[in-house]
A and B are shown apart, each in its own frame.
Chain A
Amino acid sequence: MTTIAIQAGLEATRKRLKTRRAAQDPRSSMGWGDDQEEAWKLLLEVSRNGLVIWISASNELPIEQ
């Protein structure tokens, strides 16, 4: 039995989270705008929604998927 699990954009999301935290610190002068927040949320959703595929080993059985 083989399971293939796929996730996209995890590293980029983690890096962006660090930047976001630093920018939102009250002592920071970087600033974090609404457009950056929207981009961050999109990236988070990309990494959140993955795909898992279970590969069965049979060809004699009727496929009901």
Chain B
Amino acid sequence: MSSTDLQQCEDVMPEDALSKQDRKRFKKLRKRATNVIHDGEHSGILMQSEWLELQKLWTASTSANKASNLGPLIGRRKRKESNKVEASHHRDLLAWFMNVIHRPNGLLQQPKKRSRSEDNPLRNPSIPSWVSVHNPASVSNVVVLEVHVPESLDIEACRVAVDAAVSQAKGRTALHAPTKLFQGHQPKSLSDGLLYFVTPSEPYKKQAMEGGDHETSMDQIIQALEDMVLPVDSWNLEGYPTSVDDKSMTAGERSETKAPAVSSLQNLESIPLNEAVQFVEATGFRIKGQNELDKNVFVKTLKRRDTTGDEGVRVFGLDCEMVKTSVGSELARITLIELTSFRSDKMETKTILDALVKPESSVKDYLTRHSGITAELLDPVTTTLKQVQIALLSILQPSDILVGHSLENDLMAAHFIHPRVIDTALIFRHRNKRSKFSLRHISAALLKRNIQRGSHCSEEDAVAALELAIRRARPGDSFVLPNTDERRSIMEMWNTSKDVKRAAIGPASWLQTHFTNTANGIHALGCNSLAACCKAIRAWTTGSRKAHLVWSNVALNDGLPENNLESFQTKLVSHFNHQKVILKNMMQHLTIWYRLIFWSISLQLQ
């Protein structure tokens, strides 16, 4: 078809094919499609049927601006600009888009709030609170490009390359979101953060509290804590100190030696040292597997003769800091706090004992990074382990509950055995029953509190362990760590749906880890170079085999000459130019058909 013929066709075409009613409808839809409101979750055209209607009217209208691009737009919601962004936000948004694509009509009902017990969190993903989406119905596919760069290459350089590509491609806008990709000390990849939902853990079954809906009392907390005490049968298995034989455990109770008086817990040095040594030597014992170089003996909580035994159950938190000496690990600091009250779901504690302790052997490593202990701190200290043992014996009764994290280490360091312990490392241990989480991790995950910033503080750790145990005991949420082993990929959301095409493009090892290790309908293409990756993306986002979700992974500056930042920018421009913006290209496509039809009609007429 020559350009002259085309021009003749255009001269023959009617000025505007829209009726008055259609013009009105077109104006209304166009106004909605172009009126961006960043106040809420979404705006513009929300249903695919309306978007198709707009396309049809746009094509028919000769007055519409044919050179413009109209499509989806993502922006920051007003008044939410400062929200911190995490990888899970982008994951949720991707899952939301996939829902939009998959359920084109009637899909934009308000998603119900996900409950913890829902077994499929992918069913109703929601838009992050800082995001606003305009014209979501115009999205027909999503391409995710993971880019890994070496630490020597600044992310800022990549951002500049992307921005340059966006401005070169024209008709695009970019929303930048600096994102925290993972928590904790375990580095995780983009795929780990963006691809997976963690499935809810099984709820921890708590004992039902009698009396209906009322404030939890201290007695109820203590009653629940008693159920969490570590059984004596498990002490050996969990590394808790146990005596050589039963006789030595009861030696203290049979002993005639009197324990020295403790006048002040704030000043343990005031405890007469000779009397302390005498008492501990008389009532103490060695334990199974004790280091032969360690000459100190262990003592056990005794029923004090000066009490009636009716003080009730008290709850304490314990934490110790240790240093490395020629003997091994020795006590350097001990903190004991007591739970004094529990009111309005808040606990109050009091520090009963917080003392630095002089190790008996020469210190090889103060482990300052972890313990917070330095030589300057310990040098003037004269408090000994035996004085600490006497202090503990003066405070604790056998009926009291002692709470700590990996408490066996603290008790070994303090050379102390207590019959009723709660270990938060065991309460919140990994599902595999072998691994334990750190107190720092559990506090961050469940208490939303960052402890141990810098070095450890035994008081902070004791409070955290006690609070974890109490929150677990308290009626309400099951209070468990999310089960990160069982996670579901958003790419597998539509395993049972044949209509939804998904493709994964990237290195073979990455495909094996995330896509090809289970049976699913995901098309996987192994590509190592940027050029191959971009070519594959183009194949899967254009033409008849267009996938609804394409997930790809590339590494820049990884040694391959073609995988550099300049190539990346060039490929991006090409990618944007090839990606069809729906209204513009539909319009171009249909305009050509109209011209063809009129040309053929004019030929026939001739």
Contacts and interface: CB of A to CB of B under 8 A. Distances in A.
B155 A8 contact: yes
A53 B182 contact: no
Contacts of A4: 145, 147, 162, 572
A57 B71 CA distance: 5
Q: Chain A contact residues (Cβ within 8 angstroms of B): what range?
A: 35 or more
B184 to A, nearest CB: 9
A16 B458 CA distance: 29
A45 B464 CA distance: 25
Interface in B111-143: 134-135, 138-139, 141-143
A7 B178 contact: no
B393 interface: no
A7 B36 CA distance: 31
B73 A58 contact: yes
Given A6-B149, A6-B155, A7-B189, A61 B134 contact: yes
B158 A5 contact: no
Given A8-B153, A47-B187, A2 B575 contact: yes
A51 B579 contact: no
Interface in A29-63: 34, 37, 43-44, 46-63
Contacts of A6: 147-149, 155, 158-159
Contact of A56 (B34, B68, B73, B93): B73
Contact of B149 (A3, A8, A52, A59): A8
Interface stretch (B164-172, B311-319, B353-361, B592-600): B164-172
B166 A55 contact: yes
Given A9-B150, A37-B369, A57-B579, A52 B72 contact: no
Contacts, number: 181
A17 B72 contact: no
Contacts of A11: 148, 150
Most chain B CB within 10 A, of A8, A12, A46, is at: A8
Given A1-B97, A2-B575, A59-B69, A44 B185 contact: yes
B194 A5 contact: yes
B217 interface: no
A56 to B, nearest CB: 4
A47 to B, nearest CB: 5
**A-B CB proximity, top 9 nearest:** A9-B151, A57-B71, A59-B171, A60-B68, A13-B187, A56-B73, A54-B175, A54-B74, A50-B181
18 contacts: A1-B72, A1-B143, A7-B189, A7-B190, A9-B149, A13-B187, A47-B151, A48-B182, A49-B180, A51-B159, A51-B177, A52-B179, A54-B74, A57-B581, A58-B134, A58-B135, A59-B171, A60-B69
Interface of B: 34, 36, 38, 65, 68-76, 85, 87, 90, 93-94, 97, 134-135, 138-139, 141-151, 153-155, 158-159, 162, 166, 170-182, 185-187, 189-190, 194, 369, 572, 575-576, 579, 581-582
Interface of A: 1-14, 17, 34, 37, 43-44, 46-65
